[in-house]
Every structure is written in C-alpha cells, then in structure tokens.
Structure 1
C-alpha cells in the first residue's frame, strides 16, 4: 500500500483481488471442448484391443501391495467425482465406482493441473494400471506412479493410462452422509462426492473468507449428528478464496477425504453449497455478517477513547458503533493478537484473542470495518487506551474471544484503501498521536545499533535518533519475520504505529520496509551494509564443516524434518535414554584479511532440557578441539525447550578479535545421563566489510 507496503506488493494484492473476486466471482465456467482429446468406448475392453486386460474393481485394486510398480495387465473404471476448475483441488482426480450410490472411491494423484478440461466431473474413465503404483498419504490409498519426483503420475504419462469414455458423461448424485458416519468403516467412500445436510460452519469462523491468498487453511464445520466437528480444506489459490463463506445452515456438497485421523472435505465449486437457512443449530437466528446501524449511535475513535474514565477497565454499555480503517495487522508476527485501527480523529489498538488475524479479510490492512461497541471494554494499559474484552473469568483485560468476533466486527464491504500517514518529527509527537499510523521524519538508528538485528532472543528495543539528538524507541518482537535482519544504517523516514508505555513513546513497524533508511546519516557519512563473506544453509550437508565426536556414539547430523524440506544441522544426545556426549561442529576456514568489521550469525532451535550450545571461534585450529585455543562467543540462543519450530536469531557475534586472520566458528554440544537436549542450527553466516 502507498507509503506502507512496497508499491509492487500493493499492486500484486490489488491485481490478485480483482482476478479472484472479479473475473470468476460468479463461479461459472464454460464446458470444456473435448472433441480433440482421446477417448475410448466400453467395447474397446470387451471386443477391441483391450479385451485381454482384466477388469478390476476399485476395492480389488486398493487391496494390492503398496509402493511397488504394478505389473497387472488390468484396468479399472469409474466416474470423476471432482473438478479442479476452481483451483481448490490440486493435481488430484477423484473417482467413484458409480455416479449414484457408489460403493467405493479412489484418489488418483497426477502431476497435472486443469484436468477438468480433459476429465470433467461426471466423465466415465478407464485407467490402465500396469506401470502405476499404490501408495498411502495421510492414511489414504492413492493411485500414482513411482518416480524420482514423487508418486504422482507425470503429466506426459497421463494419456497412456487414463482414458475418457467417448459417449458416457453422467450426473454425479452426491451420496448423503452425516458427520457421525465418517468413521473408519466408511473410508471406502473416500474420493466420492458426498452431501451433508444440516451443516454449518463453526461460529468462530463466521463472516470469514474461504481462505487467505496463497494459503491453504482448514475451516471447521459441524452438523446435527454428532458433536465431533469435521474440516473443510480450502486453498488460497481457489477462485473463490476471497469470497465470504455462507453463514447459515444447510446442504454441503464436496469430496470426502481424510488426513490421518482427521476427516476433511474439499469443495469443487461454491455453487454446490446451499447453507443459508436460519436459525442455525447454535441458535443464531439471522445472517450475522450483515451490518446495520439501526438503533446504533456512531462514535469516533477519539470518543471511544473517552469512554475510559477510571479503574482497570470500563465496559461499554451504550448501543454504539465505530467505523475505522485497519492500519496494521499481525502478518509479519511483529504484532500479536491485535490490530490497529484509525479514523480521522485518531488511532486505537483493538485486542482480539486470535492469531493470524491478517488471514481474515476484515483485518487486511486498508480495510474499512464496523465495530459494534456494546459489551466491549476500554482500558488504559500502561498509558495507552485500548479496546478489547475480558478473560480469565472476567478478571483481566485483553482481547475479545475468537467465538465472538462475528458479533462485533463487520466488513465495510468497500475496496481496500491506501493508508494515509500522519507526518511528525520526534519533537512533535503528542498523546493524540498514540495509536496512529505515522511518518516519522528524518531519523536514523543510533551508532550502537548499527550492524545489529531488529530483535534477538526476545522483544528488543532499538533507538532512533534525529539530527537534533531527540530519540525514540523502536520495538521489535523476536517472532517478527524480519527480527534477524540488520537495521538500516542510513537516515530517512520511518512509517510506524505509535504506542506508549508508562509515558514513553514507542514505535512498532509491521514490515522491515517501513524503516528502509538509505540517505546519508546526520554527520554526512554513508552507511555501508555488511556483505556475506560466507554463508551456509546446510543444503550441501557438512561439505564445509568438520564434525568431531569426542565422547558418545551420537553425532551431528543433517535433518530437514518439520522444516519444509530445508536442511539444518542437528545434534541429539538421546538414544533410548540420555547419553554422555561431547560433539563439535566446526566451520571451514574463512578469511577476514582486509576486513574492518566482521560478525557471525545463525539461528537455533532447541527441544528438551539440557546443556546450552556453546559457540567458539579460533584462528589456529589444530585439528583437535582439545588442543585448540578457543574464544567463547556470546550468542542469543533459543530457550523454549518445550517445542520445535521457534527458530531464534543469534544476533551478530563480533569477530573483531579475528580481523586480518583466518577464522573458524565451532558449535560445541554436550549432554549428560540426566539431560540431553536436541539442538538445531541453520542459516549460518559470516558477514563483514
């Protein structure tokens, strides 16, 4: 957005929104022209060239051994139950053994898209199985092909195995099921088109879009047959992703599937859903997503702030509403469970007890929203007036609960607007600016913050200073996606939310680009950023590292588990019990000759209690850790031993003692019989200038 995100990002969002909500909003498509695509008739397998092929039922096929190439000269037949025309189903063709009352379904995995143009829903198909293979994904048997790239049938081989009947195209009648019937005994129906009556989306997700752009999400759905909910899995690439899900009760039609023990459904097209009846099972009597100001009095944000008078919090009892624009959200992780909103009179923090708010269309930056204020609360939190709710049995002020969002927040149903900033210098800031999106003029990070990351280990304060010496704190969460990036070293304008803490002004930036400072500094000097002298993400394993096991059988290894296929170094001293270990991971020699500054950095993730990882540097490695002179470096390490996945930036480790020399960095792991942590290391860099 203008003066907020990069221009390119803004253009991408607008164009994407137009394509998704404009071009295919009606969810209607022309029937594909199949005249020139190969087809076969049933007599091909009765009296024609395929008469020697054995016909298998889907049940018989799925009983065959998995993960081996099939040699059977056989074929199966079925009817296509799915359609990928909306983009919600990806590289998969689902079939069932009959267009009505099916007894078996099948998942066919193909490395091809837009398969609906060749095999539209209702097509009768024949699949010759010789050369294909069965495998299991998430507990679901699927038919594919064993290749170096995976188990999908490569697109070039699809015509050699899958054929459409030249004349038969049926109407698929969904099999009626209840959520209570989604049990192991009915897994045979996986791949079939089913219909669930009396279905409704969970109240926590009412008035939300099917999926955020480019992100696949699970939406909870229920019916009246069981208290157990099911999942509707929606792709952020679907043409209907930005449409609002139906808020009523009624008929849901989709593909029946499963992932491990979770039953899930896939929508072919949203026109298959008829979920607009009220009252719902949960008692909601009318569409909760339509805002009406009947009987309500509009308040400005300045007036909302004035509703706080004294004490820990004040409940809003009047029938009020406020219209405001979202100015900042949690997309980069620098804000957590809150957004900022603004109108012409001021800005305000709005607390909501939910993560990933940015995935909800209502909380996208630039959106106009209506907030019904009755029964919400205002509080003075360390000097900042905030809007929210109570939690912990109404004993503490915080965010409104997720289940109540639909009751209070309504989409303004207008296109996203540019977010306009209020221009200020540090000296001009006043309490009236708290909560606003501001443009802070002509500032730079103080000298001691240069070549340092925005945050390291925990929420971190950096100091901005103007050319008169006035300062202000910029706070960054260590969970921000840009936390490990070095601050900009020049002078310029910072776009940020202004907050306050016990009388001290603070800034929060949603994106790193909001503090992209590139002009000469106040003293006229030009900042030169560090460049990477050597970097290693362990994609080549330990090609540039030496591993030394001093004690214990366990050693440093390369892993990518839970890291989206990206390699990292891992050391774990547990093997059927905690073991005594001392293991070193030592980098190759890196020259710092001619450098005036140099730093090392990396990220770590720890699981389970144990000794902290130690980081050392040396310029005289002897080949044996015990005879080498090491310098211990002070690094910020992950401290959350209870979970994987919270990678922490080390900060920049100063290597000034090794300038002009060749340096190696080493990670020393130790464990005992009482404690053996798992340490993971990634994104190693030595930077300098």
Structure 2
C-alpha cells in the first residue's frame, strides 16, 4: 500500500472514531414517519362500503351474480379501515377493509399488485380509495374491488397504488365483531370477527402426530383445518396459506377464541376463517370440551367376522328392506344413497345444493347380535370429499327404541378423516374401534349433520365390519 493511500485510510478511521464518539446510539434510529391527513379537491364526495355493496347488489339483481359495477365519477372516495395484514404471509396482494373500527356492518376485499402491504397500510389504518375507474364484483364468493379485466375484478396496478389508496393519519383500535358459526352469512364476509369457545378436533391435535397449520405434505396452497364450537359442536374451516411464516407450527391443543377475517375459500362456496398471525388464536383454556365416547378396556380383535357390509350389488332400497334405516330427522329430503365409482359401491351422502339448513340424516345398521361373540371391534372406510367441515359422527347402541331421536346413543371414538376442499379424497381406514364392552343386539349409526349453505362435506362409507372371537 503506498503512503498516500495509507494516509487516506488513517484519516477515514480517525473521522469514523471521532464521529462515533460524538453521537449517541439512539441518534441513529430512523425518525418516525409522520403521516399527514390527505387533502381532497373541493368537489370531492365520500361514500361508504355499504353504499357500493348496495350498488353491486342492485346490479346483480338485474343482471345476475356475475354483474360488475364500474365507478366513473371523479373525486369520489371510499372510506374504510384496514383489518388484514400480510406481515405473516397469510394474505397476499390484498387488503381487507371494513366500514368502522367497532360494530362494523360492511367489508370489502381490495386487490393490489403490491407485496408487502403492511408497511404502508397497517392494521387499523384508515384509508381513502379513489373509486374513479375501479370496479366492484363478487370474486371467490366475496365482494371485491379492483380493476376490471376480461369481466373479472383484477389487481390495482402497483404504479398507481399511492394515487388510488390514500393513507389517513388515523390509526384506529379495531374491536372484533363477536359472532358464532351460526351467524355466518355473506353480509359478514370481509369483517374482522371474534368467535369464542373453540377448539381443534381431538383427533387432529391430541395424537402422536398432531397437525400443523399448513405444513402437511397434502396441503396445497392452503391448509384447511376443522375448528369446532364447544357450545354446540358445530364446525368451521380455518384456512392458512402454505406461504404463511407460521404454517409449520402445530395446532394448539387447548380451547379458546379466534380473531381474524371471515371470508370464503378459493371456490367461493365455503366460509373460511383466516388469521392475520397466530396470536389471533387465544387458546389458553386447558379444559377441552371433547364429547364422552365409548371406552372399552377389554381385549379386542378376533378372526371371526360377526357383521360385514361392503354395499356391493345393492341399492339403498335393498338395504332398507334388509333392516337398515335411512332417516332425515329435520324434515327434508336429503338422505343416504348407494354410490359407485370404478366398480366400487359405497354409502354416499352430500348436503351440497340441498338447500336444507340445517340437516340431520342418520344411516343405521340392522340389529347385530353380539351375544355369541367376544372381543369385538369395529372398522370401516371413509372417503371425505369437498371437505368444508367434519360433520359425520359414528355411534353405537344396545337399546334401540325404533326412533333415532329417542335412542340413547354412545358416540364411538372414530377418527373421521378430513379430505380436500375442492376435489375427491381417498378412502382411509377408521379403527379398529374396541366395542367389546357392548353386548346383546346392537346397532351402528352414522349421523350426518350440517347446513346448506354451510358445512356440506361429501362422504363415502364402505367396508363396514365387526370382528371378534
């Protein structure tokens, strides 16, 4: 190194040391960004989310559900409060806004070709959106604002983001709207909600291999987990993106509350709950609300088949004539049928497009005599399809009254598999379930209880068998 370069290096080091000695550490902190309230042209008008949702409803009443509304008035601004956050990766290139920080009545999804958004539009930030040239329609089942492209509402371009979506200086405290699963409706989508007394199904979280939010090999784009109410056993779907930074966390085993956004799945046919981050689950109650299930402690398993039904070569009428019961207790027409695929037959049911809300349908076996056998156990196969909630439960009784609603049933500890939300699943074995402590003439029953709209998972039941000695 020559002498001139050496002198320069020494001078730089001296200056650096001198500067560091004269400046305290906290003077290097980035100064807080002061956001000023935006100014608007004198002729500006301001509209509410409920108002443009009303415009959309009128257009869809006149022209059908695919109708869109495009706004052409200059200096017309929509007001709203941000209730989504993409900081944890569970939202992507979209904002969810609602009309009020407390007791909201209307919400909207806004598509923007920008990532991330939380650095500009924080949770609770009030925003103004210049509506000129934007369009509103229903996409993925929820009201969506953006730019019209090929008759679909698409993203606001990144280069116009700051001109279209203006930040207010107001940062509101968002109070979640407390609801229940039974309250789910299109009017509540895109709102920040709270639901109390929830837990994940015991079969998903209490075993040796508990589920993660969205880190399973079968999770494609989103992990969908059934979450159940401790008040009435109803279920809903918690959806988590496979890009979320908490996707590999295991689901909590306790019960508690959910805070997040009510929306719908990609197909727009099922309500979904979406977290901004995992702190939206406050599961701090160690006392779970699991149902009492039959617990037989004796030895089970034997080589003799006591009862079997694989539904091959039969119709539902054949089953009913042989003593099976197929009962809709809610007065509708939905019932079990015998379905088939690739030569395989099975009992099948789906509430999709039934219009029955709620529905409860029972499929009950004929009497099965267990007096001459011991160590009995039950097994069957289940295929869950287009899964939007775990709504199938298995029971047993040794004292059937002839009426499923007056019979005293014992719930079986049957782990009903979950399936994909948008297609058919695969048959999975359930059991063997130890039923050795039940004697005499017994019946096995499957109860299918949900609602349309609501949980309508399609189930196929096959290879029902009781074995023993």
For normalisation by structure 2, the TM-score amounts to 0.50
* Unmatched segments (≥5 aa) in structure 2: 1-29, 60-66, 294-298, 306-376, 382-393, 396-412, 419-425, 427-469
Deviation of the 1:98 alpha carbon: 1.4
Deviation of the 1:188 alpha carbon: 2.8
1:115 to 114, 117, 123: 117
Q: Specify the alignment match of 1:35 in structure 2.
A: 33
1:575-595: per-residue Cα shift (whole Å, max 9, x none)?
xxxxxxxxxxxxxxxxxxxxx
1:242 to 244, 248, 252: 248
- Does the 8 Å CA contact 2:109/2:190 hold for their aligned counterparts? yes
Q: Specify the alignment match of 1:201 in structure 2.
A: 200
- Does the 8 Å CA contact 1:210/1:243 hold for their aligned counterparts? yes
Q: Specify the alignment match of 1:79 in structure 2.
A: 81
Within a 5 Å distance, the mapping from 1:183-202 to structure 2 comes to 183=185, 187-202=186-201
Match of 2:167, SS state, is strand
Q: Specify the alignment match of 2:285 in structure 1.
A: 277
Change (3 A) 1:77 1:312: same
- Does the 8 Å CA contact 1:203/1:403 hold for their aligned counterparts? no
Within a 5 Å distance, the mapping from 1:293-308 to structure 2 comes to none
- Looking at structure 1, the residues matched to 300 and 231 of structure 2 have their Cα atoms a distance apart, in angstroms, of 46
Q: Specify the alignment match of 2:68 in structure 1.
A: 67
- Looking at structure 1, the residues matched to 126 and 80 of structure 2 have their Cα atoms a distance apart, in angstroms, of 6
Deviation of the 1:255 alpha carbon: 0.5
Change (3 A) 1:90 1:239: same
For normalisation by structure 1, the TM-score amounts to 0.35
1:59-98: per-residue Cα shift (whole Å, max 9, x none)?
1111224535310231111111111100011221011111
Change (3 A) 1:162 1:138: same
1:162 paired with 2:165, answer yes
- Looking at structure 2, the residues matched to 253 and 145 of structure 1 have their Cα atoms a distance apart, in angstroms, of 30
Q: Specify the alignment match of 1:475 in structure 2.
A: none
Change (3 A) 1:170 1:150: closer
Deviation of the 1:281 alpha carbon: 2.4
Deviation of the 1:135 alpha carbon: 1.6
- Looking at structure 2, the residues matched to 182 and 140 of structure 1 have their Cα atoms a distance apart, in angstroms, of 13
Match of 1:76, SS state, is strand
1:480-525: per-residue Cα shift (whole Å, max 9, x none)?
xxxxxxxxxxxxxxxxxxxxxxxxxxxxxxxxxxxxxxxxxxxxxx
Deviation of the 1:189 alpha carbon: 2.8
- Looking at structure 1, the residues matched to 303 and 202 of structure 2 have their Cα atoms a distance apart, in angstroms, of 32
- Does the 8 Å CA contact 2:144/2:153 hold for their aligned counterparts? no
- Does the 8 Å CA contact 2:135/2:153 hold for their aligned counterparts? no
Within a 5 Å distance, the mapping from 1:199-348 to structure 2 comes to 199-206=198-205, 207-212=210-215, 215-259=221-265, 260-283=268-291, 311=303
Deviation of the 1:253 alpha carbon: 0.8
- Looking at structure 2, the residues matched to 283 and 309 of structure 1 have their Cα atoms a distance apart, in angstroms, of 25
- Looking at structure 2, the residues matched to 92 and 272 of structure 1 have their Cα atoms a distance apart, in angstroms, of 19
Change (3 A) 1:233 1:189: same
Match of 2:195, SS state, is strand
Number of equivalenced pairs: 264
Match of 1:63, SS state, is helix
- Does the 8 Å CA contact 1:278/1:284 hold for their aligned counterparts? no
Change (3 A) 1:59 1:68: closer
- Looking at structure 2, the residues matched to 282 and 132 of structure 1 have their Cα atoms a distance apart, in angstroms, of 48
Change (3 A) 1:192 1:34: farther
Match of 1:173, SS state, is coil
Q: Specify the alignment match of 2:94 in structure 1.
A: 92
- Looking at structure 2, the residues matched to 230 and 391 of structure 1 have their Cα atoms a distance apart, in angstroms, of 25
RMSD: 3.4
Deviation of the 1:283 alpha carbon: 4.1
Change (3 A) 1:91 1:309: closer
Match of 2:72, SS state, is coil
Deviation of the 1:170 alpha carbon: 1.5
- Does the 8 Å CA contact 1:95/1:192 hold for their aligned counterparts? yes
Deviation of the 1:280 alpha carbon: 2.0
- Looking at structure 2, the residues matched to 92 and 391 of structure 1 have their Cα atoms a distance apart, in angstroms, of 44
* Unmatched segments (≥5 aa) in structure 1: 1-31, 286-306, 314-387, 395-399, 406-478, 480-689
Deviation of the 1:202 alpha carbon: 2.5
Change (3 A) 1:96 1:229: same
- Looking at structure 2, the residues matched to 138 and 33 of structure 1 have their Cα atoms a distance apart, in angstroms, of 41
